A and B are shown apart, each in its own frame.
Chain A
Amino acid sequence: MRLTTAGTPSAFRKAVVGIVSREPLPVGARANRILVTEAVPHRAPELSGYGGFLTTARVEDQIVSLPTISSVRNIDHLRTHDIVAMEPRNGFIRTLYRPDSHHNIIFATERCNSNCLMCSQPPQDRDDTDALTERNLNLIRLIDKPPSRLVITGGEPTLLGERLFAIIASLRDKFPETYLHMLTNGRVFAWPGYTAQLAAIKHPNLVLGIPLYSDDSTTHDYVVQAKGAFDQTILGLHQAARYGLRIEVRVVLHAITIPRLPQLAEYIYRNLTFVEHVALMGLENIGYAPRNMSELWIDPHDYQDQLESAVETLSTRMMNVSIYNHQLCVLRESLWKFARKSISDWKNIYLDECQTCGVREQCGGFFQWATKLHSEYIHPVPAATSQPALPCTRIP
């Protein structure tokens, strides 16, 4: 599924965030709307009052004073009510929000204080925090119906400093019912002052998703490529819990994290008993991962023992545990009930082998980039051998 496109920008210097309309609107209803069409209007009044204008057509001369991107390569994916950002510098049109999707994100920043070997969204060092914060606050203003779920991600959102609080406070005010998941490395929460401020916002449905890759500090620090990160994350988890913040622990499974996964599960129970959910996640072959694949790759088929042991430890100690990004045909059947369809709709695919599979409907499938690399043991599963009660519910 396409989320970006581009064309030729004109008549604006500052990024524009607006709501797509594929049909012309009455003059009174054009504020913050971005008209998307394949044609170019004949007369200027037809465009007056819109926040922006996107067209596949070539616009030779400056017929409008409206923020415009012309010669847009593709507009088929843009639907009325989608919220998009128009970039003046490079003519990029990014879809920020789709009202009918379960996987909308608030992209906080591309900066990060870690540099994980398998990062799916490699960090950038330029400072985008002001620009993105403004864009995100605009986005929140424009969202109409309360989304059931939103994810704040990055980069590392806490690098926004106090600007992050403005974003969370505006979500609290406008959509208090929305389940708000924030993916953060949790290191900043080692500072009690910062954690106290976040907790003071009192967002009623905020859950922090914090990664922990090993019970061994050296291994964790190596995976996130930051010395001292383990200590900060552990202290951060404890600070966050102390201030009553809800926490999920996330573990990405690969050749470096697998050997001590059973010990990590025990560590989580002993030291982080307060976390409300543990997500054990398959590796994404994107971002940095392909570059470090020789170190990271282990066929999921070959780590079922460690995975089952970790799930046994956590589940029998009344902790909630889920398996993300795994295919049922590779997952040991005893673990099927922990598998969730976790992959965002826009990057979720199935392979040719899956056509004849009896449990395809229950299976979370693949990331689109798995076509290049996936388990050697992918195979159709006959429906008859499948368990009667397949859970595979979507994640909240």
Chain B
Amino acid sequence: MRTFHPVESYSSSQAGYRLLPFRFLRLDDGAEVFVNEVGEFVLAPKGTARTLIQKQLPRSSDLYATFKAKQFIADDSSSPLLDLLATKYRTKYSFMEGSTKLHIFVVTLRCDHSCHYCQVSRQTADKISYDMSLETAAQSVELMMKSPARHLTLEFQGGESLLAFDVIRYIVPLAKKKAEALHKELEIVVCTNLSNITDDILLYLRDENIMVSTSLDGPAFLHNANRPRPGNNSYELTIKNIDRARKTLGVGRVAALMTTTQLSLQHPKEIIDEYVRQGFHSIFLRPISPYGFAVKSKEKTGYQFDAFLDFYRTGLAHIIEINRKGYDLSEAYSKILLTKILTPYGTGHVNLQSPDGAGLSVLVYNFDGDVYATDESRMLAEMGDHTFRLGNVRTHTHRDIFTGEPFLNLLSSACNQSLAGCSDCAFQTYCGSDSVFNHTTQGDLYGHRPTSDFCRRNMEIIKHLFTLISARDPEIMRIFLAWIQNSGLREISKRAPS
């Protein structure tokens, strides 16, 4: 007959434990949050960090088991299971596989709008100067296809991209043919204000399976103030044409993005309600852009920063309320962060990842063949700063671009793991680095965290999300889980205990 041994026989034979890599932070309410390399977190009472690090955590405590199970500490009862940690790390960074996936083609700078926040559009009939030539288009496609990624997204931008519909019609079959020959999957998106849309264009987009992404800044008073055009009827045109586009392409094939301006900051609820009214199920409360007016005045930036946080918090609360009432609406920025916090998966969002997505995840092919690291980089170029021009499709190969000085400079500050102020930050795993932002707002790629708006904004937003998570409101948790799993509250609740 076999015998049984007491639990003590299975715990560590030696006193003490080892620390595995993790970082921590005290939240505003005194609670402490611990995060490790793979994004697992522990919320614990004030004082835990001190006890933990001084190796005073009692072995019999629940927290001890939790820290051990989440791989923050290791003792002799169990191997540190480093293979497991490695697998989780790989999973978190799987977004890097294949390198550059998003390829933005600026097919024209011409536009019928004159939005305040736009640095690039030209109101001109001069087609030759500001449209992408077919030769440049072909060379851009050639370069794009050199990307090792299996799944590519081709995004047409402008100006108003559809003003250069002939260029688009030239690029689409060319890109599709090349992608097929290389066994790559290709998704195509056209970013358009829809004001020039015709039935012929819509049918073309439908037949070529092209998605539409348009701009909707809020209700009429706000949208029209943000996006002036002759006749001051941008809102009316947009709404009418979203409807037309949906009828031809399908509701799920038309997305909208809003740009936050100073005026927007005062109207989070109105903007969100407009998205609901128009039947959208996702909204992106985008940070106010530092390109253009914001960089020019320091005091203004500070004011805008606090105003943006208010805007975000009020907006998020309103969005959660809307979900509670039965309408599925996710907030894109929170969704990115919550995916990092609550799931074992990683997510690459160009402006919120480490390594920085500039070049690594996105490339921008300007109308004149210049290749930029990000959309923001070419806006900077329009303001006279060419730091992030990585090359030109006529003169540079894929290799030239990724071994050239501009890209290597970017890369040197691309990992927040090695940036002062980030390397020991509890939220490092969830956050990112944005060298283009650093350069624009602080004058160097590396940046200075204590005065960085990027840092402050993400710290505050992540803290806010942790406040909501630690409140343990089961319905908020379900709403968050619905977002990160592309589901809805009702759908999730149907699966859950009820």
A238 and B83 within 8 A (CB) = yes
Is B65 an interface residue, CB under 8 A from the partner?
yes
Instruction: Tell me whether A115 and B4 are in contact in the complex, defined as CB-CB below 8 angstroms, given that A231-B78, A315-B496 are known contacts.
Output: yes
Q: Chain B residues with Cβ under 8 A from A318's Cβ?
A: 485, 487, 495
A227 in the interface, Cβ–Cβ < 8 Å?
Answer: yes
B9 cross-chain contacts in A, Cβ below 8 A: 222, 227
Min CB gap B9→A, angstroms: 7
Query: Contact at B477–A219, with CB atoms within 8 Å?
Result: no
Contact of A234 among B6, B7, B65, B81 (CB under 8 A): B81
A316 B495 Cβ-Cβ under 8 A? yes
Q: Which residue of B lies closest to A271 (CB)?
A: B84
What are the 4 closest A-B residue pairs judged by CB atoms, nearest first? Answer: A217-B78, A215-B69, A334-B497, A216-B65
Of the A-B pairs whose beta carbons lie under 8 Å apart in the complex, a sample of 14, sorted by A's number, is A216-B65, A216-B68, A219-B7, A219-B10, A234-B84, A235-B81, A235-B84, A270-B40, A270-B70, A308-B497, A316-B477, A317-B485, A318-B487, A332-B497
1/0 per residue, CB under 8 A from A, across B55-69: the answer is 000000010011011
Contacts of B474 in A (CB 8 A): 312
Give the CA-CA distance A337 to B79 in the complex, in Å: 38
B478/A271 in contact, CB under 8 A: no
Asked whether B87 is an interface residue with its Cβ less than 8 Å from the other chain, the reply is yes
Task: Tell me, rounded to whole Å, the shortest Cβ–Cβ distance linking A231 to chain B.
Answer: 5
Alpha-carbon distance between A260 and B77 when the two chains are bound, in angstroms: 17
Q: How far is the CB of B423 from chain A (nearest CB, A)?
A: 24
B198 interface residue, CB < 8 Å from A? no
On B, residues with C-beta under 8 Å from A are 2, 4-7, 9-12, 40, 62, 65-66, 68-70, 77-79, 81, 83-84, 87-88, 343-344, 474, 477-478, 481, 485, 487, 492, 495-498
Are B5 and A225 touching (Cβ within 8 A)? yes
A371 at the binding interface (Cβ < 8 Å): no
Please determine whether B7 and A222 come into contact, CB atoms closer than 8 angstroms: yes
Contacts of A221 in B (CB 8 A): 10, 77
A31 to chain B, nearest CB (A): 42
Interface of A is mostly: helix
Interface contact B65-A218, CB-CB below 8 Å? yes
Are A271 and B10 touching (Cβ within 8 A)?
no
Report how far A318 CA is from B302 CA in the complex, Å: 42
Query: Which residues of chain A from 305 to 345 have a CB within 8 Å of any chain B CB?
Result: 308, 311-312, 315-318, 332, 334-335, 337-338
Give A361 to B84 CA distance when docked, in angstroms. 44
Q: Are A311 and B83 in contact (CB under 8 A)?
A: no
CB within 8 A of A123: which of B2, B40, B70? B2
A170: interface (CB < 8 Å): no
Contact A225 B495 (CB under 8 A): no
Q: A123-B2, A238-B87, A316-B478 are in contact. Are A217 and B68 (CB under 8 A)?
A: yes
Report yes or no: B495 in contact with A230, Cβ–Cβ below 8 A: no
- List, in ascending order, chain A residues with CB within 8 A of B78's CB: 217-218, 228, 230-231
Contact (A335, B81) CB under 8 Å given A219-B65, A260-B65: no
Q: What is the CA–CA distance of A115 and B2 in the complex, to the nearest angstrom?
A: 8
Among the interface residues A269, A271, A273, A292, which one has the most CB atoms of the partner chain B within 10 A?
Answer: A271
| Cα separation A100 to B273 with both chains bound (whole Å) | 60
Query: Counting CB contacts under 8 A, is A129 at the interface?
Result: no
Task: Say if the beta carbon of A249 comes within 8 Å of chain B.
Answer: no
- A interface residues with partner B (beta carbon < 8 Å): 115, 117, 122-123, 125, 215-219, 221-222, 225, 227-228, 230-231, 234-235, 238, 259-260, 263, 267, 269-271, 273, 292, 308, 311-312, 315-318, 332, 334-335, 337-338
Closest Cβ of chain A to B90, distance in Å, is 12
Q: How far is the CB of A52 from chain B (nearest CB, A)?
A: 34
A-B contacts besides A217-B77, A221-B77, 19 pairs, CB < 8 Å = A117-B4, A217-B69, A218-B11, A218-B65, A221-B10, A222-B6, A227-B9, A227-B10, A234-B84, A259-B62, A270-B40, A270-B88, A315-B496, A315-B497, A316-B477, A316-B496, A317-B343, A317-B481, A332-B497
Min C-beta distance of B79 to chain A, whole Å: 5
Assess whether B481 is in contact with A316, with CB atoms less than 8 Å apart: yes
- Check A231 against B65 for contact (C-beta < 8 Å): no
User: For the complex, what is the distance from the CA of A258 to the CA of B343, rounded to whole Å?
Assistant: 24
Q: Name the A residues within 8 Å of B40 (CB-CB).
A: 270
Considering the chains assembled together, what is the distance between the CA atoms of A298 and B11 in angstroms? 23
CB neighbours (8 Å) of A122 from chain B are: 2
A321, chain B: closest CB distance, angstroms: 9
The residues of A that contact B496 with a CB separation of less than 8 Å are 311-312, 315-316
Residues of chain A lying within 8 A (CB to CB) of residue B81: 231, 234-235
Nearest to A215 among chain B residues (CB) is: B69
When the two chains form their complex, are residues A334 and B485 in contact, meaning their CB atoms are under 8 A apart?
A: no
Residues in B whose Cβ lies below 8 Å from that of A338: 497
Q: How far is the CB of B93 from chain A (nearest CB, A)?
A: 16
Docked Cα-Cα span, A315 to B6, in Å, equals 34
Q: CA separation between A311 and B65, bound complex, in Å?
A: 21
Q: Are A270 and B344 in contact (CB under 8 A)?
A: yes
Q: State which of B6, B83, B477 has its C-beta within 8 Å of the C-beta of A235.
A: B83
Question: Whole-angstrom distance from the CB of B470 to the nearest CB of chain A?
Answer: 15
A292/B4 in contact, CB under 8 A:
yes
- B87 / chain A contacts, CB cutoff of 8 Å: 238
Complex CA gap A273/B487 in Å reads 18
Give bound CA distance, A221 to B68, whole Å.
14
A190 nearest in chain B by CB position: B83
In the complex, chain A residues whose CB is within 8 Å of the CB of B69: 215-217, 263, 267
Nearest opposing residue in chain A for B344, CB measure: A270
Set B4, B10, B66, B485: member contacting A218, Cβ < 8 A:
B10
Report how far A318 CA is from B345 CA in the complex, Å. 14
CB neighbours of A217 from chain B (8 A): 10, 68-69, 77-78
Question: A228 vs B10: C-alpha distance in the bound complex, in angstroms?
Answer: 8
Q: How far is the CA of A351 from the CA of B288 in the complex (A)?
A: 67
Across-interface contacts of A231 in B (CB, < 8 A): 78-79, 81
A215, B40: Cα distance in complex, Å: 14
CB distance from B250 to the nearest CB of A (A): 25
Chain A: which residue is nearest B487 at the CB level? A318
* Nearest neighbor of B474 in chain A, beta-carbon distance: A312
A260 and B66 alpha carbons, distance in the complex (Å) = 9
B62 → chain A, closest Cβ, in Å? Answer: 8
Q: Contacts of B498 on A, CB cut-off 8 Å?
A: 334, 337
Set of chain A residues within 8 Å of B79, measured between Cβ atoms: 231
Question: Do A271 and B4 contact each other (CB < 8 Å), given the known contacts A216-B68, A227-B9, A312-B474?
Answer: no
